[in-house]
Structure 1
Amino acid sequence: MVCPEVMIRVIRSARTQGEERGVIQRECAAIRAQFRQADNGGRSHNLAKLLYVHMLGYPAHFGQMECVRLIASPRYSEKRVGYLGAMMLLDEKQDASLLITNSIKNDLSHSSQYVQSLALCTLACMGSAEMCRDLAPEIDRLLRASNSYIKKKAALCAVHIVRKVPELGELFTPAARSLLSEKNHGVLHGAVVLITELCERNPETLEQFRKTVPDLVQIMKGLVTTGYSPEHNVAGISDPFLQVRILRLLRILGRNNDAASDAMNDLLAQVQTTVLAVNILGRFLLNNDRNIRYISMTSLQKIVVTDHNAVQRHRGTIVDCLKDPDASVKRRALELSLALVSAVNIRSMMKELLLFLSSCPPELKAQAACGIFNAAERYAPSQRWHIDTILHVLTTAGGDVRDETVPNLIQLITTASDLHCYTVHKLYRALITDISQQSLVQVACWCIGEYGDLLLRGECDEIEPVQVSEDDVLDALETVLQSHMSSPATRGFALTATMKLSTRITDNVDRIRSIVSIYGSCIDVELQQRAVEYNALFKKYDHMRAAVLERMPVIDKSSPDHSNGESGGGALKEVEPPKLKQGEAVTAQEPANQVHDGDNSQDGHNTLMYSCDNLGCFHI
């Protein structure tokens, strides 16, 4: 029989799982054989080896009865391993657990505090409701013992009993209150946990313990104002774990009770001044250890929901963490930075976030872009700033934005009527600079199609206008149509924009007709259908072309009838067409105001964006 250390060394040296399994099977067979012997001097060693096997995930249930035998042993070394095995291998569902009830009861009265401690720990770990009822008087007796080591463990054992059998809480109430006069921090910690459990489970007990608020306040003041204590000091704070437990109990005792709240107000103010947890977390952000910075930002993210201003004081440090080389820290810093954006700091924070977006890892671009869009929509100081910010994001990370970005931006542009000239000039410049960002190209094509006359006119007070000719605009749209980077949806935007320009320009209508006719035989069914219908407008329905291709009405994003499916953006504001008298010709108002939902193409944006998609009613 090998000793546990040798067995562990052999198992850990196994090079494959199959080899490890073989070693464990041989050892388990030897352990079973040893258990069958009546006189076994190495029982504790065998059970210790079995517990290691259990920790590796292999079956060890055949050692349950050996735990019962070792617990009954008079030797402490065997009793210790037996109790440890009971805590690991037994639970309240096992019949063997009932067999150790009498042994635990006897050991609770043992002359050695260490044996009593083993029994208390085991009962607190796996005691069933029946065991708790049988042994509760013994635990109450130990709560009143003179030994602080035993009282500490008895208090935690009482917590387990209260959770298993709540009606036994009244038994421990007097002893729990007396424990608050102890000086030992371990006993105080156990007492506070026990009182918290009693108060949460019984309103009547809660009223009784409200009388202990002055005692708890006094204990807390002693912890806050005490000098350096090497036994309980943690990073310059005296027993922070006990302080947290007391604060949780005070929160329960002070809830809906003015007298108890008044008694603890001064203390809470002092604690807040002394501890300043947010400031400590802020200092952790400067730590060289990335794990500490990550944990600090995780904690601050929880605090920012309840105390936004306190976390704002560390905004500069948090923003600096966006430059951290560690991806996890960078992600946490991004989430926290977005949570700190407000109406007051929107301009400064957005500069930092846009700078981060231009250099952030690809896996964070979508998250950063989405966060910037949400913050801009919520806190934008002006419509022009809002449009500029979104265009900047589309220029930087257009391929990583969500599908609804295009219709949302178009809705924003339509509502900013005084910025139409400014926006179309800016988007035209972006289009001729780079056509790789599909979302940006789609918005640019839409604007050029809607407000191309403003672009050609060149009258813009907001920026220095670009002198653009009709050929320049058509060249840009043709580039989009012919580019291999353009998706079918983008080509649809460009083709419709080209068609709309036929009513905004005067000298190049034939060129537009030629461009449109080319796509009448396009392999893409959507583009082909558009081109065929647009050709019909030129030929059979030329008298309706100006009316059909009028500017789009303002998009009403709050329309209750709008489905939030693929299209993502807002719905068109529906206007009832004017009624015609018999024989009266169709005016320009009717087609422009009608809304049609007939486009079932893959790109739902196109149906939403263009009134000319309503041409699906033409049968050619």
Structure 2
Amino acid sequence: MKSLNSLIKGFRACKDGGNTEYIVSAIAQCRNEVKSQDPDIKATAILKLVWLEMMGYDLSWASFHIVEVMSSPKYLQKRIGYLAAVQSFNKDTDVLMLTTNLIKKDLNSSNPLEISIAINGLSHIVTPSLARDLNHDLLSMLSHSRPFVRKKAVLVLYKIFLQYPEALRIAFPRLQEKLDDPDPSVVGATVNVVCELARKAPKNYLVLAPQLFNLLTTSQNNWMLIKIIKLFTALTPLEPRLVKKLVPQLTHILQTSSAMSLLYEAINTVVSGGMLSGPNGDALATMCVSKLCSFFEEPDQNLHYVGLLALARIAPTHNYLLADMDGVILDCIDDSDMSIRLRALDLVHLIADKRTLPDIVKRLIRQLLPSSTLDISPFYRVDVVHRILELGKKDSFGNISNFEWFVATLVDLTKISNCEEEIAQEIINVAIRVRSVRPFVVAQMERLISEGVEGNVCFAVGWIVGEYCSFLRDPVTTIHYLSSPPTGHISTDIQAIYVHALAKVYTHYVRSSQEWTVSRKSSLQILTEKIISSLSQFTTSSDLELQERAVQFSSIFNLALEFLSSAPVGEILHDNGFEDGKPPRFITETMTELFGLYELAPVGPSAQARVPLPQVDLNEWIVRPSSPDPVFVEQDEENDLIATKVPRDNPQDKERKEAERRERIRDDPFYIDSLNPTIGTPAEIDVDSIPIMELDLGTPKVIVKSKKKKSRRRDISPPRVPVEIIQEEMPEGADYSSISKSAPKPTETKKSLLHVDASKLLDVDFERDEENERLREEEERASLKAKKLAKMEGKPEMEGKSETEGFLHKKKASLILKMLTS
């Protein structure tokens, strides 16, 4: 017989490829040894199988032999059996039913060590049946003389409650007693169990608040204080009166404690319990923020992370306190730990203003550069770009004092990020809303054109140079680029934008102030022919939008070419004398009116949803007929259309036609006639017998909510240049009550391996149990009272019947008697 040490040494001595054969022979040897009558040999074999199970080999076939070792009277062998059970047993193991009496026997043993291993093993293999059968034995262990047995019994009760929630109703008074246990370890274990139970149903444990508060003020164990504070975090929303009691003690902890974990839990309770909104909320928030500053002075990265989490929870109510911590938050943006950088990004928008925004954006862009030493994932790069865009458009560009700097930053972002589409939309948004920055935006787009821009940013290039072509410095170069872009790198959607922009830039260039000469006419003809040639390649495109625009503008440019060819040059003789020749009015006026009559304004994202619904009455004519009689149009022999009025039928003709129709459809099996004789004629129907039901459809009331403007704290320092921000357009008579925010779909989160299913504890409600108990007692009292009254009157008692049921029986008997006598 090999020992466990020999088995491990032999396994390590095997060369590559020989391990499998060695393991197979070892398992075969163990199969023979577990059948031995010698308890030592059987226990050693089970111990070796436990090691093999940890190496990935199945142990389920030896479950019965494991129970045999568990029942050994020797402690060392029993310990091996419980260890194997913990490693291999699960809820579907067949032999679990054999362990009930075995564990019950060990729990009642006089040896505290056997009780200890039984409790430990039960905590891993407990099932609903084991929990139901053993919960009373465990409750008796709460009175054991050894503290470590009481502590383990309290801890295993939590596993019992998860499998058998009814045990919680029985064990709760005993748990409440253990909060006053003389041993601190038992009290700590009880607090731990109650804290875990309170996560699901905290209202059941409000009755423990006095005892917990006493422990909070007297205990010196930081870990127990952390658990108690977590408990009060769950209880304070249910009982607001606890806030007034807790504030002095939590303030004392914040002032005196040096344990960072305890400080964090105290701050978390202060925020979650709504204590910052109390009378001393500002002073308490200031103290919390000052304590959080010490978190960032420590080298531990975990403290930096939880410090940022706490700041994020304080910020919604005391945002101004973060202004003094902008340096700390900006330093966390450049931290090597990505989780810390992500938490810092959540706080960046709270500290961003006109003073700090350039520095924040500079730090974020520095992380996106190829020379950055930080570990940047693609997800984080996208997140950084989105944060920059959100910081810029926050409060309608309220944090931007220099829009030229912001536009230049967006243009630079297109070269180092993969979010060109979002950046292009933001550039267009700035150009639409801020009139003063449009010349600079157009100049930046011209620079991108000269650099041979590619990608999704071309959408912004085409849209801006077309819409604001009056700011172009070199329209001809822009026309050449739009008419012959690098098509291999541009999508059809962007090409459609280019076609539209080409017509706008061309129109602007033609009507620009230049003399109408022969050379200008010839250059315009050449330019127009080139545009027509470039558009011809898109007239057969598979993209319908691009094809439609190319066909339409090809026709327009062909007309422009015809007008250009026939346009005179030089002086033209009129009745009033000579007049200089001018470009064709079709180009300078007609084509201009296609694009330049109105200025585009930003439209609100919810404008379409706020269009009021039309009030349509289906009983009224939508278009009232002009003639009282219908008009019939026919052709005569000479194919001339003749409109004749058709006279309306008189009542006799209508009745005759209706009779003919009924006769025609009487035998038709596919037609159901409402006046069929088999169903009944109108004269045979008793109209008065038809019940009349009131149908209240109730017209819905439309409530128009006034749009409240959020008050914004103004910055004392005025912006460098006064900038006009164009507001979004909304439809006339917008209905603000027509928008319903759809609830976000719940996201399915993947359960962790350490996840504990405590959903059964939600069914345990002590308040409901007390109400049911009270109703049961009242019912018993009423039953006893009815029995006493019946006994006093000399009437026979009705077993199990209440006073009300007796009255019903008497009433029923009197009715039967009346029927018989009548």
Normalised to the residue count of structure 2, the TM-score between the two structures is 0.57
Alpha-carbon distance in 1 for matches of 2:550, 2:400: 35
Mapped to 1, the partners of 2:384 and 2:594 lie a distance apart of 39
Does the CA contact (< 8 Å) of 1:453 and 1:504 recur in 2?
yes
Structure 1 letter corresponding to 2:344 = L
Contact 1:436-1:486 within 8 A present in 2 as well: no
Following superposition, the deviation at residue 155 of structure 1 comes to: 0.5
Which residue is equivalent to 1:449? 466
User: What is residue 504 of structure 2 aligned with on the other side?
Assistant: 500
Shift of 1:152: 0.8
Query: How many residues of Structure 1 are paired with residues of Structure 2 in the alignment?
Result: 524
If each structure's helix is expressed as a fraction of its own residues, which one has the higher value? Answer: 1
Alignment of 1:169-180 (within 5 A): 169-180=168-179
Of residues 592, 603, 608, the one that matches 1:556 is 603
CA offsets 1:556-593 (integer angstroms, 9 cap, x no match) = 2425659xxxxxxxx9xxxxxxxxxxxxxxxxxxxxxx
The yes-or-no answer on 1:369 pairing with 2:385 is yes
Residue-by-residue CA offset, 1:490-548 (whole Å, 9 max, x unaligned): 55444433321122123564454134123134379256764443221122478452233
**Residue of structure 2 in register with 1:306 after alignment:** 313
The 5 Å alignment of 1:219-234 reads: 219-223=215-219, 226=220
Counterparts of 1:359 and 1:157 in 2: how far apart (Å)? 50
Alpha-carbon contact 2:66-2:84 (below 8 Å) kept = yes
Aligned to 1:416: 434
Q: Which residue of 1 aligns with 2:222?
A: 239
Q: Report if the CA contact (8 A) 1:350-1:372 is conserved.
A: no
User: SS in structure 1 opposite 2:225?
Assistant: helix
More displaced stretch, 541-550 vs 244-253: 541-550
Tell me: CA distance 1:366–1:209, structure 2 relative to 1, closer, same or farther (3 Å).
Answer: closer
- The corresponding residue for 2:529 is 514
Larger Rg computed on CA atoms: 2
TM-fit CA distance, 1:161: 1.9
Secondary structure, counterpart of 1:342 in structure 2:
helix
- The 1:92–1:494 alpha-carbon spacing in structure 2 relative to 1, beyond 3 Å, is closer
Instruction: State the partner residue of 1:615.
Output: none
Is the CA contact 1:4–1:49 (under 8 Å) kept in the aligned structure 2? Answer: yes
> Is contact 1:395–1:440 with CA below 8 Å preserved after alignment?
no
Distance 2:323 2:362 in 1: 19
Q: 1:54 Cα deviation (Å)? A: 2.0
Deviations 1:343-391 (CA, angstroms, capped at 9, x unpaired): 6546524533344324425734322112211232224316775674355
Structure 1 residue 414, shift from structure 2 partner: 2.0
1:181 aligns with 2:196: no
- Provide Cα deviations, 1:474-501, integer angstroms capped at 9, x if missing partner: 46656x7258765555554444333211
Q: Tell whether the 8 Å contact from 2:420 to 2:457 is kept in structure 1 after alignment.
A: no
1:587 maps to none
- Residue 77 of structure 1 and its aligned partner are, at CA, apart by 1.0
From 230, 233, 244, the counterpart of 1:248: 230
Q: Which residue among 254, 257, 262 is the counterpart of 2:244? A: 262
- Tell me which amino acid in the other structure corresponds to 1:553: L
Does structure 2 retain, via aligned residues, the 8 Å contact 1:365–1:397? no
**Structure 1, unaligned stretches of length 5 or more?**
227-237, 456-467, 563-570, 572-620
Instruction: Give the structure 2 partner of residue 217 of structure 1.
Output: 213
Q: Which residue of 2 aligns with 1:316?
A: 327
Q: When the two structures are superposed, what TM-score results if normalisation uses the length of structure 1?
A: 0.73
Cα distance, 1:281–1:118 mapped onto 2, change above 3 Å? farther
Which residue type is aligned with residue 3 of structure 1?
S
Amino acid across the alignment from 2:102: S
- 2:419 corresponds, among 401, 404, 416, to 401
Report if aligned partners of 1:391, 1:440 keep a CA contact under 8 Å in 2.
no
How do 1:131-150 residues align onto structure 2 when only pairs under 5 Å count?
Answer: 131-150=130-149
Q: For residues 148-199 of structure 1, give each alpha carbon's deviation from its aligned partner in whole angstroms, at most 9, with x where no partner exists.
A: 1111101112222222222222432333223223354421221113334666
SS at match of 1:88: helix
Give the direction of change, closer, same or farther, for the CA distance of 1:369–1:510 in structure 2 (3 Å limit).
farther
Name the aligned partner's letter for residue 468 of structure 2: Y
Q: Corresponding residue for 1:389?
A: 406
Q: AA paired with 1:220?
A: L
Stretch of structure 1 that moved more, 105-114 or 308-317: 308-317
CA distance in 1, matches of 2:401, 2:203: 62
Moved more, 367-376 or 492-501: 492-501
Unaligned runs of at least 5 residues, structure 2: 265-288, 369-375, 515-522, 564-585, 612-822
The higher-RCO structure (CA 8 Å, 6+ apart) is 2
Within 2, Cα distance between the matches of 1:204 and 1:191? 17
Q: In structure 1, what is the Cα distance between the partners aligned to 2:290 and 2:399? A: 34
Counterpart pick for 2:344 among 336, 343, 351? 336
Return the alpha-carbon distance in structure 2 between the equivalents of residues 395 and 515 of structure 1.
Answer: 33
Alignment match of 1:546 (pick from 592, 596, 612): 592
Whether the 8 Å CA contact 1:516–1:534 is kept in 2: the answer is no
CA distance, structure 2, for counterparts of residue 511 and residue 15 of structure 1: 84
**More off after superposition, 442-451 vs 360-369:** 360-369
Residue of structure 1 equivalent to 2:690: none
Give distance in 1, aligned partners of 2:15 and 2:418.
Answer: 45
Cα contact 2:410–2:423 (8 A) shared by 1:
no
**Distance between the aligned counterparts of 2:14 and 2:304, measured in 1?**
41
Answer whether contact 2:72 2:78 (CA < 8 A) is retained.
Answer: yes
Q: Which moved more, 1:115-124 or 1:179-188?
A: 179-188
Q: Does the CA contact (< 8 Å) of 1:395 and 1:437 recur in 2?
A: no
Q: Which amino acid aligns with 1:497?
A: A
How many Å apart are 1:300 and its aligned residue? 4.8
Identity %: 18
Instruction: Decide which moves more: 198-207 or 353-362.
Output: 198-207
Distance 1:201 1:514 in 2: 76
**Alpha carbons of 1:430 and 1:248: their partners in 2 closer, same or farther (altered >3 Å)?**
same
Distance 1:184 1:15, change over 3 A: farther
- How far the C-alpha of 1:321 sits from its partner, in A, is 4.1
Partner amino acid for 2:330? V
Quote the Cα distance in structure 1 between the aligned partners of 2:606 and 2:198.
51
Corresponding residue of 1:122: 121
Q: Partners in 2 of 1:200 and 1:334 — Cα distance?
A: 28
Q: Residue 49 of structure 1 aligns to a residue in which SS?
A: helix
Cα gap change, 1:287 to 1:56, in 2 (>3 Å): farther
Task: List per-residue Cα deviations over 1:85-143 (Å, max 9, x = no partner).
Answer: 12222234323122122222222222322211101112222222332233222222221
Note closer, same or farther for the CA distance 1:196–1:338 as it changes in structure 2 (3 Å cut).
Answer: closer
Equivalents in 1 of 2:406, 2:128: separation in Å? 63
Query: Helix, strand or coil for the counterpart of 1:73?
Result: coil
Output the CA distance in 2 between the equivalents of 1:14 and 1:552.
Answer: 84
CA distance in 2, matches of 1:318, 1:46: 59
Is the Cα contact below 8 Å between 1:520 and 1:529 reproduced in 2? no
Q: Which residue of 1 aligns with 2:8?
A: 8
1:348 aligns with 2:356: yes
CA contact (8 A) 1:108 1:120 kept: yes
Give, in whole Å, the separation in 2 of the partners of 1:203 and 1:396: 50
